[in-house]
Amino acid sequence: MQFEFQLEGLLRVRRLLEQQARERLDESMMRIRTLENNLEQAFEWSARTARLCLSMESLPAGELQFVDSVLRQTKEAIAQCLRKKQAEEQRAEGLRAAYLLARRARKTVETLRENAFRLYQIESARREQSTLDDNYLGKLLHSRNATRTASSESSAELNP
C-alpha cells in the first residue's frame, strides 16, 4: 500500500502561495536596492557638481544660475526618491509579514505530512513484521505437523 497524504492538494497550494509571496518580497527588495543606488548616484553627482562650481572661480552669472537650478532640481529629486524608498520599505515590511505567514502555513501542513508519513512507516513496518511472523509460524506449524505425521507413520509401521 502506497503512502497517500489526504492534504496533498492543500500542501501544493501553500507552497505556491509561499513562492508567490517570496517573489513579491524579492521584487520589492530589488526596487529598494534600485532606489538606494539612484540616491547614491544623485548624492555623488550633486556633491561633485557643487565642488566643481566652488573650484571654478569665475563663472558667468547665467551658468551659476543654471548650475544652481540643476542642483535644486536634483535635491528635489533626491527628496522624492527618499519618499519613494520609505514607502517601498513600508510595503516590503508588509510583504515580509505576508511571506512569513505563508511560510508558517506551509510548514504547518508539511509537519502534518511528515507526521502522517512517519505513522504510515510505523504501520507499514508493523504489517510487514506481522506478515513475517505469520509466515514463520505457518512454517513452524507445518514442520511440526510434518514431524508428527512422520513419527505417527513410523510408529504405525512398527506396530502392525
Q: Count how many domains the chain has.
A: 1
The model's pTM? 0.70
pLDDT tens across 25-84, in order? 999 999 999 999 999 999 999 888 888 777 776 777 787 788 888 889 999 999 999 999
Quick check: is 2 in a domain? Answer: no
Question: Can you list the positions of beta strands (E) in the chain?
Answer: none
> pLDDT for 61-77, tens place per residue?
787 788 888 889 999 99
The CATH number of the domain where 57 resides is what?
Answer: 1.10.287
Q: Which three cell numbers stand for residue 4?
A: 497517500
In this structure, what is the dihedral angle of CA atoms 13, 18, 21, 25, given to the nearest 10 degrees?
A: -160
Contact 11, 64 (CB under 8 A): no
Q: Is residue 60 assigned to a domain?
A: yes
Domain extent at residue 70? 8-158
Q: Is residue 68 part of a domain?
A: yes
Q: For the range 80-84, what are the long-range contacts, defined as Cβ-Cβ under 8 Å and sequence gap of 24 or more?
A: 81/35, 81/38, 81/39, 81/42, 82/39, 84/35
CA–chain centroid gap for 6, Å, is 22
Give the other-Cβ count within 10 Å of 3's Cβ: 11
Q: What is the pLDDT of residues 105-121, one digit of tens each?
A: 999 999 999 999 999 99
